């Protein structure tokens, strides 16, 4: 989830992928990452990882994710081309 905030969409995604999958949340603020991690602990969800970074430079390897979601965040970027390039970079072929 690009711009995951408090992590609610990541937690929902984690439930959907099940224990064999993993859901990532990317946020640029320590406060939101702390909140997201607290929400994951409270929900008992372990197949999530919240990482700090910018959506224009996603700190994940090439072709490492199946799906990308983002709710009301990409529109805030001044460099939407960079966001989309990064999204395609981290998506697996066919993702």
- pLDDT tens-digit profile, the chain (95 residues): 999 999 999 999 999 999 999 999 999 999 999 999 999 999 999 999 999 999 999 999 999 999 999 999 999 999 999 999 999 999 999 99
Architecture of domain 8-90: 3-Layer(aba) Sandwich (3.40)
**pLDDT of 43:** 98
For the CA atoms of 65, 68, 74, 78, the dihedral, rounded to the nearest 10 degrees, stands at: 20
How many Å separate Cα 15 from the centre of its chain?
Answer: 14
**pLDDT of 73:** 97
Indicate the pTM of the whole model: 0.94
Place of tokens 């700090």: 52
**pLDDT of 14:** 98
């Amino acid at each position: 989830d690009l711009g995951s905030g408090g992590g609610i969409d990541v937690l929902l995604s984690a439930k959907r992928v099940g224990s064999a999958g993993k859901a990532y949340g990317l946020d640029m603020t320590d406060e939101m990452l702390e909140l997201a991690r607290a929400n994951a602990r409270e929900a008992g969800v372990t197949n999530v990882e919240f990482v700090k970074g910018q959506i224009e430079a996603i700190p994940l390897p090439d072709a490492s994710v199946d799906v990308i979601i983002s709710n009301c965040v990409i529109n805030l970027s001044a460099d939407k081309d960079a966001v989309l390039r990064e999204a395609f970079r981290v998506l697996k072929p066919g993702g």
